[in-house]
Amino acid sequence: MDIFTNLAKKILKSIVYSYYSAHLKLTNQKPRKIVFLLAHWRSGSSLMTHILSSNSEVIGFGESKTVYHSKNDFDSLSKEIHWNLRKGKIFGSQMLIDSVLMNHLLPNPDLLKTKPLYAIFLVREPNKAIPSIFNMGVSHWNCDPNRYEKEALKYYLDRLSSLEKYAKIINSKSHGFFLTYEQLVSQTELVFEKLQNFLELKSPLSENYQLTPATGKSGKGDWTDNIKSSRIIKNARSSGSGINLSQETLDRGREGFKHCCNLLSQYCRTVDD
């Protein structure tokens, strides 16, 4: 039964995508802006995406897993968003948002210089991020706990390095914005004000957000109960709480985090600007 269900879903998706492709070609509709949320796992990217996409001018759902080789893949993003949100109508004037959390999804980083693309960089301090990444790997993906600490650290540091590279490529405070998860939850009103100005949104952002058909689904972003609360939880318990990692791992994480924050602050607009 599952085989036939999956086959039917693939056929339906193919038909819907064909409709989207034809509609986009006939109407020549393009999004006003493409927004990439450039972050790492367990950074608060799902929370940020829900907040932004709850604004009437923004549409998205989380991690589309689109691989960006060329501008044509922006159309693929539009199709994937509308498929996951169960929206039958193409909103060509919308601002599309995608969370990009893995290096292989952006094989052509020069696309970051494409107009009308805007990038929001989001990082989280390692004492919370790395244990949470570790927990995700061990409890959700059944990774070997004896090996995954090194892999979690490697992913975190590699991803921070890629974010630094992306910021240098963009090299524009008009198209790059940097914030941390800690700023999002502790300086929420200021962050919202700055993001609204950065994205030129007409309506304000809110701490209360809407859930989508993709909320909490594995592979689409955060699967924990926190994301289903429909609001920012200021003192949310990290999924990595109680996990003890080596001091070396945390020290190396802090060093990479500090270096990344310093560089992103130089190349991007921040909440302090």
Closest CA to 192 of 18, 34, 66, 52: 52
Lateral strand order in the sheet of 33-39 = 58-59, 95-100, 33-39, 117-123, 176-180
In a domain, 246, yes or no: yes
Q: What is the CATH number of the domain that holds 166?
A: 3.40.50
Give residue 146's pLDDT band: very low, low, confident or very high (50, 70, 90): confident
- Amino acid 1: pLDDT: 47
- Confirm whether 185 is domain-assigned: yes
Let me know if residue 153 belongs to a domain: yes
The pLDDT tens digits for 152-167 are 999 999 999 999 999 9
Residue 22 lies in a domain: no
What's the number of domains the chain is made of? 1
User: Is 23 inside any structural domain?
Assistant: no
Question: pLDDT tens digit string along 212-229?
Answer: 888 888 777 777 888 888
pTM of the complete model beyond 0.85: yes
Q: Which domain holds residue 118?
A: 44-267
pLDDT reported for residue 209: 93
The answer to whether residue 166 sits within a structural domain is yes
pLDDT at 94: 77
The whole-number pLDDT of residue 87 equals 63
Structural domain includes residue 1: no
Check pLDDT > 60 for residue 269. Answer: yes
Structure tokens belonging to residue 42: 């367990």
**pLDDT band with cut points at 50, 70 and 90 for residue 25:** low
Q: Would you say residue 170 lies in a domain?
A: yes
**CA-based nearest residue to 118, from 65, 57, 161:** 57
68-93 confidence digits (pLDDT tens): 999 989 888 888 887 788 665 555 55
